[in-house]
Amino acid sequence: MKDSQHKLWEVFVQAKTGAPHEHAGSVHAADSEIALQNARDVFSRRNEAVSLWVVPSDQIVASTPEDEGPFFDPANDKIYRHPKFYSVPKGVRM
Amino acid sequence: MSQEEKLKEFERKIESGEKIEPKDWMPENYRKQLIRMMSQHAHSEIVGMLPEGNWITRAPSLRRKLGLLAKVQDEAGHGLYLYSATETLGVDRSELIENLHNGKAKYSSIFNYPTLTWADIGLIGWLVDGAAIINQTMLAKSSYGPYSRALIRICKEENFHKKQGYEIVSKLAGGTKKQKEMVQEAFNRWWWPTLMMFGPPDKDSPNSAELMKWKVKLNSNDDLRQRFVNLTVPQAIAVDLKVPDPDLKYNEETGNWEFGEINWEEFWNVVKGNGPLNKERLKVRNDAHDRGAWVREAAEAYASKHSSLN
Ligand SMILES: [Fe+2]
Ligand SMILES: [Fe+2]
């Protein structure tokens, strides 16, 4: 029988309250409870986290690098979304 | 994009210092080299727990036991960060672990040497982790994003490893005559194998040129080795230990500590599997893995029972 390494979970760590959860790496675990415990043991041995998320890796939907052009492109020609596009009378502080 | 354009874009990124991420196009050999190197690194963290784990139950005080336990636990964590980073390249962890267990994959040869006395634990922290820090500080700037991020995490934890080792060494070196002899004897055994940890001289290192071209490695083996010697010799002098090298001398002009000839025959011999403990290490790893099989099976059974209840 092939040895199971369990399913893969992505780990997100919040370093302190107010900060966003950031991707830290991944762990293997049979279920979400063990995944969370493993994530704590692997990514927070020195108080690196106040909160942890674990997400089954196969549940993450990601863009691909090939998308980089067409997928993100529309933003590039919409300079009117940036403050620089607009002018105000001289001397007025915004 | 054609293959050629993809390669150009890849090389441009490397050149400008941008990181390569898992889904980016990369040359097949870049992927292969990374999988080989990163999994070797992961295996080294895991096997590296064995020589030190050997002394946990015999640590001379509670303070020493706590420190050693925490360090060995960190090494397990390092192994896991690195396996997880390697998996981003599209390999499965079970495959990597299988290759370790059947002897196909390599790990750092230093862990095939025995830990004969308590002083060896000091020497491993001071020298082996010290050498690893130099190597890993470079690799933290590596061009592959997940490898670089794992190493930044690892580097933060390594300093404590080295310091706890050096504390053991300095206490023994300043202790009784017997303690001093014990630590000097251990130093004599660990010094040369540690210098070998940086790998063969640049001219005999088959993978080095390619790894440096792709900025997986940023310094050569010989450069890193020299950096280690320059850093470590003054630390030995500070605790009155003699470096076991009659040819060691300081070069005023270059600021380098020049050292004697390394016995590369010994190095290749251990790499090929004939070191003092190659077989023993693999056997212990395999036994531990096999003994844990029922735990993995139980966890799977529990998980599938609960998901079918939901
Ligand atoms: Fe480590
Ligand atoms: Fe370490």
Question: In Å, what is the CA distance from B88 to each residue of B3, B6, B92, B172?
Answer: 22, 20, 9, 44
Mean pLDDT, residues A2-15 taken together: 88
Upper half-sphere CA count for residue B33 (Cβ side, 13 Å): 20
The per-residue pLDDT for A2 is 58
- Identify whether A76 is part of a domain: yes
A71 lies in which domain range? Answer: 7-85
Ligand nearest to the CA of B136: 1
Q: How many domains does chain A have?
A: 1
Q: What is the mean pLDDT of chain B?
A: 95
Mean pLDDT, residues A34-48 taken together: 93
Q: Domain containing A32 — which CATH number?
A: 3.10.20.520
Residues A18 and A70: their CA atoms lie apart, in Å, by 34
Closest partner residue to B93 (CB to CB) among A25, A28, A45 is A28
The per-residue pLDDT for B306 is 86
ipTM here: 0.87
Neighbouring CB atoms inside 10 A of B259's CB total: 18
- Identify whether A22 is part of a domain: yes
Residue B20 DSSP code: B
- Identify whether A2 is part of a domain: no
Residues B175 and B64: their CA atoms lie apart, in Å, by 16
Evaluate whether B205 touches B221 at the Cβ level (below 8 Å).
yes
Closest CA to B233 of B150, B127, B122: B127
The per-residue pLDDT for B205 is 81
Give the residue from chain A lying closest to B296, CA to CA.
A4
- Identify whether A12 is part of a domain: yes
In chain A, the DSSP E strands lie at: 7-14, 22-29, 51-56
**Is the per-residue pLDDT at B155 higher than 90?**
yes
In chain B, the DSSP E strands lie at: 249-251, 256-258
The per-residue pLDDT for A68 is 65
Q: Which residues fall within 8 angstroms of residue B296, CB to CB, at 6 or more apart?
A: A3, A4, A6, A30
Q: What angle do the packed helices B293-309 and B278-291 form, to 10 degrees?
A: 30
Evaluate whether B116 touches B182 at the Cβ level (below 8 Å).
no
Does the CA dihedral B134-B135-B136-B141 come out positive or negative? positive
Ligand nearest to the CA of B81: 1
Residue ranges with CB less than 5 Å from ion ligand 1? B 45, 75, 78
pTM for this model (two decimals): 0.93
The per-residue pLDDT for B95 is 94
**Is the per-residue pLDDT at A1 higher than 50?**
no
CA–centroid distance, residue B57 to ligand 2 (Å):
19
pLDDT, tens only, B28-39? 999 999 999 999
- Region of residue B90 (left: phi > 0; alpha: psi -120 to 50; beta: else): left
- Region of residue B250 (left: phi > 0; alpha: psi -120 to 50; beta: else): beta
Residue B272 DSSP code: I
Q: What is the mean pLDDT of chain A?
A: 89
- Two tokens, residue B4: 């050629």
pLDDT, tens only, B181-232? 999 999 999 999 999 999 999 888 877 888 899 999 999 999 999 999 999 9
Mean pLDDT, residues B74-103 taken together: 95
Measured between beta carbons, the chain A residues lying within 8 angstroms of B296 are 3-4, 6, 30
Q: What single string gives the DSSP state of each residue in B103-158?
A: T-S---GGGGS---SHHHHHHIIIIIHHHHHHHHHHHTT-SBHHHHHHHHHHHHHH
Least confident of A77-81, B97-101, B166-170, B211-215: A77-81
Minimal CA separation from A64 to chain B, in Å: 7
pLDDT, tens only, B92-125? 999 999 999 999 999 999 999 999 999 999 999 9
**Is the per-residue pLDDT at B301 higher than 70?**
yes
Task: Judge: B25–A65 Cβ closer than 8 Å, yes or no.
Answer: yes
- Two tokens, residue B43: 């295996």
- Identify whether A93 is part of a domain: no
Task: Judge: B92–A30 Cβ closer than 8 Å, yes or no.
Answer: no
B310 pLDDT tier (thresholds 50, 70, 90)? low
Give the residue from chain B lying closest to A34, CA to CA.
B299
CA–centroid distance, residue B156 to ligand 2 (Å):
10
Percent of chain A with pLDDT over 90: 65
Measured between beta carbons, the chain B residues lying within 8 angstroms of A34 are 299
**Is the per-residue pLDDT at A67 higher than 70?**
no
- Identify whether A74 is part of a domain: yes
- Identify whether A80 is part of a domain: yes
**Is the per-residue pLDDT at A66 higher than 80?**
no
Question: In Å, what is the CA distance from B35 to each residue of B91, B213, B237, B306?
Answer: 8, 17, 39, 35
Upper half-sphere CA count for residue B51 (Cβ side, 13 Å): 28
- Identify whether A90 is part of a domain: no
B309 pLDDT tier (thresholds 50, 70, 90)? low
**Is the per-residue pLDDT at A75 higher than 70?**
no
